[in-house]
Structure 1
């Protein structure tokens, strides 16, 4: 992604201070923390790649993440000319570079990385060193376009500060290592001077190195402690004198660092270490030691101190005794204590809440293992803050860099809370959807309503009872559910017992009468016991269930209460929040509307079915012939229709069987069906004609009596000749019946096309067909509602019917027709269905019990014309 518009501005390219600073930071080895920071930037901002780049005379990638930005395997630093660096645009501007759509942005659209499609959107912020020089950039990017927000820019800016700090710390580590190497070289080159002070004679012997350090020639040095004091800085004399005296008095070590003022006016820093030696009496008689010039180290330390003091991150060092040895100004501010109070103080005494916390665990682990550690931890009041801490070992103890990330954690917590709230809202919506789908999946009032408890537990309560107000105004508990399966039987027993045990002033009846919810926020068990009859089983059961709180909500529809929902909570603290109470009310409202709609449908359906059935009479049951009929109205309420069946005897002893369908699905169709059915019965009974002639007479009567409709029908005449049974039939545009042989074979009755519908042409040709039926045969006739479906072809449905009939062929006739309806019309259906089936039982013996009693009317022959 590093190819860029050529030609960085000269002022930027010639900035010597910037170049020196960038080179110093670039010279340090890459630190893993920078890689993690790049990964963090990409993850927090949701981009494909991120990188940290430094700009001297070339661009150096110090850290990168993402397939588009990562260096080649094994490389940790990759250099490019400044003119090819995208980050140069960011560094030159000195401000965040926000590019939502690189392809259309005049600043970058001509760049090779953009033209190649590698960079579609880009966000970069400049990196500034302690002197304010722009030394590079932290950027995130990806191949797609993106609308960057102010929050994105702020977050990347904060991360850029951390990146500079990491670079400074890494450079600092390199500088300290260089100082240590220089010190070792100085020692190796003989730059350490030695001294020997005879405490009995007062003679002080120095070697040449020490004389040079103090600016003495051999002849000028008086070999006395006064010569040492003469060169010692006046401000350091009291402190050094005390250290010498302590060593002598205790026969112990001596250590001090002090300033030496040489004759030419220059000041040098010298560190001395020694040991007092005692005679046989234990008295100190000599003090031996060595000293070395630490002026260069002091200069480096001062430089390091300036860096640490200018850092925007807090930093402190702890000695091996866990006392503060260094604290920068930011650490003073964050820790809330002045430097004078911190330096030399025990960290565990000054900050007692750190004991046995993550702070102590990680600090001691770093000291013990010599491995760095990075962690986040909270320190309570008075700091009351979250910190991101990086601790690493140093020769004198443990150094700690830390950032106050309290605001970031609060933002994370706020985001998590927002996500949790969104998830809760989504779950509430899913609950409403599940309830709505379940309630609309059936028209059975009690089944739909009783299942409501299963949705509400455990989402809104530990257990629940669902009560129905039936059409007679009586309360009846239908559904119950407990979150604990082991308590389900207990709740079920309470459901069976409570209604008869509740007193008239109980909360349940109060909600029913007023239509307003009731809440018992605490001690619900006692409140319920007081509302149940003394000595009742319900009292004992509610004591065992022991609810802590409850809410009873009315289930209302069209201005009246049609049911009640009671939600119970084992712990009073778990009672419903206002949001959940609103959700429960919404669920109740939906349940009430579904319940009322189902009741309205059931009422309409009963009226429609009653009307239809009133138009159909029970079939005859001739000797050794069993007739079964079924009628199922359309699924939608008040959908009466024109389907009909009929079975009656004629004066000559024949059984006439009819199946028919008048076009339409309404009251008019039902009325027309009644007319046509009556005409057909009259014509067939009085004339005794064959089915074809009956249909011809019916067609003429429909025209002459102005029955303005069309219809299909199959009229069959069952004629018993003594030695055989003959079926004569004629088909007016209807579906062919099915014949099931005694051996279970299935065939269609008639293979040709049906003749013209009724009500179209009274002069149309009508013909009869005849077939002999074996005893044990079954004939099934049906209307189109049995097989027609919008999404399946008629051929497929007829094949399915053949399979179903074959499977059920051995069943008793009543079971067969029920099975056909169940398997062919398993759910809701748009059309009404009529079935007529008859079975020929053997003539020998009694009529089978499964056929029921014989039922035939007294047949009266019509008068001769």
Structure 2
């Protein structure tokens, strides 16, 4: 009896059919992405070091899906028949579950124990559409192990999905062959036409599934955030099964939070934005158990889930629900929920396709979560670097910072304003002098933001270390320090000082411009002047240069406007035209509220989806 089990079937018929089926599936000893995915799922669900998709050939076993196998077997992706327990599964057509091969009368002398370190083994048959066993999906462990019913069930489910994938591939090959026959046999009998039509429908379903996987791999690879992932899901599943609702839930501590569709209002997403992970819902069960959960109809829901789940099911008009766990590279990220309003039978092939698609979705969700976290940190860093505007007598200040619409970009734009120490000769109780700066460090990344923070601090220090606080002297000192440290600080800035004139109500403006767009000065009569005087921009290749400064006397009611180039530079638009429009806006609205002014300017001039950061700073003296 043991000898009969040891030798696999070698009849010409089954062997030839098996060889043909494997060839039609397009599988060999070369790696196959989908088969490797099944092997990885086995290692993840059963927590084993080795998992194989084994397919029987005449004189060897090929391994198109594999994980954890040592060399030299891993490189060749094939095993001799004598070294593969798959032959027992093929011979019997039944699962082979072995807690310890060394203690099994059939296997204790098997070469696989010494050569591969196989101690515990669990293998499930992989079959084609005719029930012919092509090989096995197996889990291997290097020490004794008792395989639980749940683990055997999970392995059987994965084997069914893998078999469905093999059948899909074989069916596609058969369809191509059938189409050639139909082209030369149009006068065939009605039964032949009926069979061809049946195969055509089956093949079309297979093509629809293949298209879903292709679109998932292509479209989801381009997503940049959870909102983008959610938006694409609805169209992605429109052709497969035609579900009424496809939802995305992401784990957050002890809850599953729904990601609402950004363009379509779904009642479920607004009424039940989140669920505790211990709630008796199909989605939370799929998350807790890390497996696919299928609810065929309302009766199944009533039997296994809470009244709250049934009430939601009824209120939304659903009849069938499928929930797939979204596994990331390190943890379970959330759940994909697919609902139908009419009873829907999810075939093995469709389930396998949806499971594979959920893998692409999980990758997109994991990438989106990483990007969202990175963007949040970047935005917090950028906001932390912005100055709290000081309160000053006879000076009103308002500023606006608008980040780039590209969430992956963090800019080097900044503004600054702070009081200067009072001069010994200044009358007591009078308004204090004020330094103001607007700058733009070249770049749109974390490095640019870091350099911006360094430059802002260094410019403050350079200013305060050089009384009487000359803007040009401070900028020159900044350049000198950057060249010595060194800090690659390239960009532009305007650094200015506002001083009260002691013998009257006027103010004195002194500024130095390092290649920055010209500030605008509006006098109380609504006349706007461009302060065009400037020196070269900051750049490490230029080295420290001679910086000049310029002065203007400002009557009470004057408004000074500083800004960065993101306000006036837009693709396809002339900068001079944009500056002229800015002058007109300042002339017309510069006498009103400063916060209202900077918002109006940003709304009118800045791109609705700017590719660069925008800073606007307005100062009015009285």
| TM-score (norm. length: structure 2) | 0.56
User: Hey, what does 1:622 align to over in structure 2?
Assistant: 392
**Which stretch shows the higher mean deviation, 639-648 or 445-454?**
445-454
Tell me the distance in 2 between the aligned counterparts of 1:508 and 1:480. 18
Paired position in structure 2 for 1:749: 530
Deviation at 1:512, TM superposition (A): 0.6
Contact 2:438 2:617 survives alignment (8 Å): no
Q: Which residue of 2 aligns with 1:840?
A: 620
Q: Determine whether 1:604 maps to 2:374.
A: yes
Q: Partners in 1 of 2:241 and 2:365 — Cα distance?
A: 21
Asked whether the equivalents of residues 645 and 834 of structure 1 are also in contact (C-alpha less than 8 Å), the reply is no
1:715 aligns with 2:521: no
Alpha-carbon distance change, 411 to 463 in structure 1, aligned in 2, over 3 angstroms: closer
Q: What does residue range 759-838 of structure 1 map to in structure 2 within 5 Å?
A: 760-770=542-552, 772=554, 775=557, 777-782=559-564, 784-788=565-569, 794-795=575-576, 812-818=593-599, 824-827=606-609, 829=611, 831=612, 833=613, 835-838=615-618
Q: Kindly report which structure 2 residues correspond to 1:344-493, keeping only aligned pairs within 5 A, or say none.
A: 406=190, 413=197, 417=201, 424=208, 428=212, 432=216, 436=220, 440=223, 443=225, 445-446=226-227, 448-449=229-230, 452-453=233-234, 456=237, 460-464=241-245, 466-479=247-260, 489=267, 491=268
RMSD across aligned C-alpha pairs, in angstroms? 4.6
The answer (yes or no) to whether the contact 2:282–2:295 under 8 Å persists in 1 is: no
Q: Which whole-Å deviations, capped at 9, do the CAs of 1:570-621 have from their partners, x for residues lacking one?
A: 333x233444434433443333222222221222223333344444432213
Residue of structure 2 equivalent to 1:550: 321
Q: 1:499 to 1:601 in 2, by over 3 A?
A: closer
Structure 1 position 655 matched with structure 2 position 426: no
CA gap of 1:558–1:748, structure 2 versus 1, over 3 A, is: farther
**3-state DSSP of counterpart to 2:336:** strand
Out of 765-774 and 428-437, give the one that drifted further.
428-437
How far residue 714 of structure 1 moved from its aligned partner, in angstroms, is 0.6
Aligned counterparts of 2:513 and 2:284: Cα–Cα separation in 1: 62
What secondary structure, in the 3-state scheme, does the structure 2 residue paired with 1:571 have?
coil
Q: 2:300 aligns with which of 521, 524, 527?
A: 527
Aligned CA distance change for structure 1 residues 825 and 581 (closer, same or farther; 3 Å): farther
Equivalences for residues 500-539 of structure 1 within 5 A: 504=279, 506-521=281-296, 524-534=297-307, 536=308, 538-539=309-310
Q: Output aligned runs, 1:27-426, within 5 Å.
A: 406=190, 413=197, 417=201, 424=208
Contiguous gaps of at least 5 residues in structure 2: 1-178, 423-431
Structure 2 CA distance for aligned equivalents of residues 800 and 431 of structure 1: 45
Query: Is there any run of 5+ residues in structure 1 with no aligned partner, and where?
Result: 1-148, 159-402, 844-865
* Cα distance change, pair 662–808 in 1 and its aligned pair in 2 (3 A): same
C-alpha separation between the residues in 2 aligned to 1:767 and 1:607?
Answer: 38
What is the CA-CA distance between 1:677 and the residue it aligns to?
Answer: 2.5
SS in structure 1 at match of 2:388:
coil
Paired position in structure 1 for 2:63: none
- How far apart are the structure 2 equivalents of 1:825 and 1:575? 50
Say whether the 8 Å CA contact 1:736–1:749 is kept in structure 2.
Answer: yes
Q: Aligned equivalents of 1:587 and 1:816: distance in 2?
A: 50
Match of 2:275 among 495, 499, 523: 499
Q: 2:513 aligns with which of 731, 735, 756?
A: 731
How many Å separate the matches in 2 of 1:798 and 1:419?
Answer: 62
Deviations 1:423-450 (A, max 9, x none): 846864686489638x72x53x357437
Contact preservation (8 Å) 1:461, 1:568: no
> Compared with structure 1, are the counterparts of its residues 530 and 731 closer, same or farther at alpha carbon in structure 2 (3 Å cutoff)?
same
Alpha-carbon distance in structure 1 between the residues aligned to 2:578 and 2:354: 44
Is 1:575 paired with 2:354? Answer: no
Q: Which protein is bigger by CA-based radius of gyration?
A: 1
Contact kept? 2:533, 2:550, Cα under 8 Å: no
Equivalent residues of 1:450, 1:480 under 8 A apart:
yes
Post-superposition CA distance 1:783-802 (Å, at most 9, x none): x4445567766556656766
SS of residue paired to 1:814: helix
Contact 1:503 1:532 in 2 (8 A): no
Give the Cα–Cα distance (whole angstroms) in 2 for the partners of residues 636 and 676 of structure 1.
24
Tell me, yes or no, if the aligned pair for 2:472 and 2:549 is still in contact at 8 Å. yes
Distance 1:565 1:404, change over 3 A: closer
Equivalent-residue separation in structure 1 for 2:376 and 2:445 (angstroms):
15
Of 646, 652, 655, the residue aligned with 2:416 is: 646
Answer whether contact 1:714 1:734 (CA < 8 A) is retained.
yes
Aligned-partner SS, 1:470: strand
